Amino acid sequence: MDKILEISSPGGDLQLQFTLTEEGEPVYWARYKDTAILDTSALGFELVDAPSLRAGFEMTDYSTRALNDVWEMPWGEQREVSNNYNELTVEVREIPPPNRRMRLIFRIYDDGFGFRYEFPEQEGLETLEIAEERTEFQLTGNHTAWWIPGDWDIYEHLYNETSVSGIDALSKRDHPNLAQTAIPVNAVNTPVTMRTANGLHLSFHEAALTDYSGMTLLVDNDTYKLTSNLVGSERTPYKVKRKLPFHTPWRTVQVSPDAAGLIESNLIVNLNEPNQLGDVEWFKPTKYVGIWWEMHLGKSSWDMASGKHGATTENAKRYIDFAAENNIGAVLVEGWNTGWEHWIGFEDREGVFDFVTPYEDYDLEEVVRYANEKGVEMIMHHETSAAPRTYEQQLDTAYALMQRLGIHSVKTGYVGKIIPAGEYHHGQWMVNHYRKVLETAAEYEVAVNAHEPIKATGIRRTFPNAISREGLRGQEFNAWSVEGGNPPDHLPTVAFTRMLAGPIDFTPGIFNMKLAPYKEESQINTTLAHQLALYVVIYSPVQMAADLPEHYEDHPAFEFIREVGVDWEQSKVLNGEVGDYVTIARQERGTDRWFLGSITDEQERSLEASLDFLPAGANYKATIYRDGEGAHWDENPSAFLIESFLVDRSTTLKLDLAPGGGTAVTLEPATAEDEERLQTYR
């Protein structure tokens, strides 16, 4: 065994060691305080038509460095982000010819660590064709895991809670309600979150995914070893092809003594490069409404031929009026452009969509003029039907139209199997397509909210026009009868899994919980107060008020949606357990207002939330939207109460959450009238 190199986190609790075995194989292991979190884990690659890069190395050099700085998010969960790490770089070279060289970079923070491979320019090696990356994470026990299968095409599976030995991704094949799915092996998608027997929380993911294939993690149920398994292509013998020099994405492990710390971690964004776009003042975080939910309910349709087209000029103006009257900044219109009659269920989907030509009953220019008159922004919609070559042919034309109209946000979609056949949503070919869309959009001052996307890996730091994405089982599943929609524990799980990757366009705020009269066989499996709390719990700089306007009109609970912020100065996770409950408080950027959201699974809970984050010496008015008497996600989901009290930083709120329930709180500096009129919270 070669010399053992060690690096610790700035605070000293997290340690990582690296060495070469007697066979010259790179290995590492890690500890948190006195607990081993990863045992000896190997690093390397299998190549196409070339010897593997797994052993036979010698260490030629190593170096360390440290950084401690602060950078500012143009929008996000907080304004300032501390970027404090220690770094170890190890250079290795094959002993036998052709003496290929590789660097391994380990970057360790107090909240976890990341590492990546670098291939410097070298004689005789111009291109690598990677058949498989063999990065290992050797777990030290049969941890509890929250996982979705390593599907190469979609992330819209429900999370499963099992032991590592109980992970069975292959049992999730042939899902009856997914537009596309491909699960080749017993692997999981990332982020995958785990809890050890002694309560330590771990989450495995990747950061800065660029010109590379998405990583799933192959699971050995007997040894508890996770091994990288890259998404492939049926059109090439390799999974990744790169010219030298290049580096891989970061492989990441977030570490926290409790679940709350995972959400507060900034590891993923910190491992990305700084902002390359400069000032993106043309994008403003916002709430929006739109022509969307009514199609999922069957009230209207995307296509014009059905006779119940939703995206008409008249209907769009109705939503614009509603937005203008209710402090909603933007309106999304789906189904505005020609092609929807042939978009799904067809093999010949290339050339179907036109991204500049509206249906004859939708006057795009007039709708935009009307929105501008009302002070409302429009959000463009580009569904590609998973035909990215068609989209790329029209990117400049489509974004030039948006620029001319002053539209700065687009929701993209990729429903269906990718054309050309043999490519998958999460492979290198599509990763590069998604990046091309993002970079082209930036040239036209357009921000992208991607659906059916590649997973978030913190690219929003480098390209802050990557504002949000789907990449999970969303709200629309509640309008579909198969499997009965999302269970009450779905979002208390998502907060500690998918949300660790980045912002989520979940589309919360449904008030008509039983979906009558449109979908009486389906329902929303939460209470109304739970839906309100999601505006704080599930982060996105674009938050939809997803229900039909008529379900909000004259509803007192809608006041919370009118008031809740979307851009934050700071965020604090007050409590939480994966899959059970979570409470988050966020301070609105540029104001003294705070908002608090708390949600639970199917279990009724009483939680406490200290308000010690409020400024000293200030009284606040707390407006509490909570579950009412007898509230229950199934039996009585609409029961709610609104109460107001005086509070300060010494106050501890008691949050009584119904089964599937929640609490949402607005906290704003108290006026003299508030102090005279309101009771102090006891």
Give the span between the Cα atoms of 94 and 122, in whole angstroms: 13
**Closest to 410 measured CA to CA, from 400, 399, 418, 423:** 399
Give the number of C-alpha atoms closer than 13 A to the C-alpha of residue 521, restricted to the C-beta side.
5
**Closest to 209 measured CA to CA, from 284, 156, 273, 150:** 273
Phi, psi dihedrals of residue 264, rounded to the nearest 5° = -80, -10
Residue carrying the six token digits 């935009």: 368
Give the number of C-alpha atoms closer than 13 A to the C-alpha of residue 98, restricted to the C-beta side.
11
467 Ramachandran zone, left/alpha/beta (phi>0; psi -120 to 50): alpha
Q: What is the widest separation between alpha-carbon atoms in the chain?
A: 83
Q: How far is CA 230 from CA 131, 133, 227, 499, 584, in A?
A: 9, 7, 10, 22, 34
Rounding to the nearest 10 degrees, give the CA dihedral for residues 367, 370, 372, 377: -40
Helix (H, G, I), strand (E, B) or coil at 390: helix
Give the span between the Cα atoms of 527 and 491, in whole angstroms: 13
Give the span between the Cα atoms of 314 and 324, in whole angstroms: 15
Report whether 12 contacts 33 (CB < 8 A).
no
In angstroms, how far is the first alpha carbon of the chain from the final one? 64
Report whether 442 contacts 275 (CB < 8 A).
no
Amino acid, res. 85: Y
Helix (H, G, I), strand (E, B) or coil at 587: strand
Give the span between the Cα atoms of 317 and 176, in whole angstroms: 37
Q: How far is CA 300 from CA 285, 295, 320, 516, 560, in A?
A: 28, 5, 18, 15, 28
Q: Which residues are catalytic?
A: 476
